[in-house]
Amino acid sequence: MSGDRRARVIAAVEAKSGGEWSPARLCEVTPDIVGVTGAGAMLMSGDLSQGSLCTTNSVTNVIDDLQFTLGEGPCIDAYHQDKVVLEPDLAHPATARWFAFTPKALEAGIRAIFGFPLREGAARLGALHLYQDKPGYLSDDQHADALLMAEVIARQVINAQAGASPGRMAEDLEATADFHSIVHNAAGIVSVQLGVSVTDALVRLRAYAFSENRLVRDVAEDIVNKRLRLS
């Protein structure tokens, strides 16, 4: 049975991706294959989101940004707990969690959200997030297909990186990944302005963004463009 599913999903991916198997392309076709509104993949290491591998629309951009800003959300949990995280009804969650993430996610039109760990063997890469614009569980089929897509995406990330020059990121990954560069630029600036470490500067940026109800990326832009100075 699982062999059939694998064959079906692989064939569908092949057809929809036009034969291109970069992790970004796989991510792009995931909503179609699983039957959800949008999908995105986050790369994580230690405590932090390192960046987004890909997003499929502006809403998944928001999901990625919120988790990067707030340090909480389905991908964060899926990665840290190393298991699938399901929230079929974000407006009426059975489990009280993500107090900062949830209201903003609802504002963006997300009604159901799911996180799947991205792993290859014991290597943990991050997490894949899928969302729906209406509440509801994933069906058994959708769940199984999502697991398969997570597996395939993770393997492609490892394959892509295995071919990279030492110390560099694989071109395939770099091309579509978003490392929140502007946030790190701003952290550097703030660290000098406030005389604190870059790590502390990042914390301050996030705290400010949260208290102003803004995405940290937007705050960072203001800082880099000298429209804002933290004190």
By the rule CB under 8 A, 3 interacts with other proteins: no
By the rule CB under 8 A, 43 interacts with other proteins: yes
Bridge partners of 123, per DSSP, are 120
The residue type found at 129 is: H
Of 163-192, binders to other proteins (CB under 8 A) are 164, 166-170, 173, 179, 181, 184-192
Burial category of 161 from C-beta neighbours within 10 Å (exposed 0-12, middle 13-18, buried 19 and up): middle
Q: Binding residue for other proteins (CB under 8 A) from 40, 51, 74, 117?
A: 51
DSSP three-state, residue 43:
strand
Min CB(227)–other proteins separation in Å = 15
Backbone angles phi, psi at 225, to 5 degrees: -90, 15
Of 58-97, binders to other proteins (CB under 8 A) are none
By the rule CB under 8 A, 196 interacts with other proteins: no
Min CB(91)–other proteins separation in Å = 34
Tell me how far CA of residue 65 lies from CA of 16, 19, 73, in angstroms: 27, 30, 11
d(CA 157, CA 159): 5
Q: Which residues bind other proteins (CB under 8 A)?
A: 43, 45, 50-51, 120-125, 157-158, 161-162, 164, 166-170, 173, 179, 181, 184-193, 197-198, 224
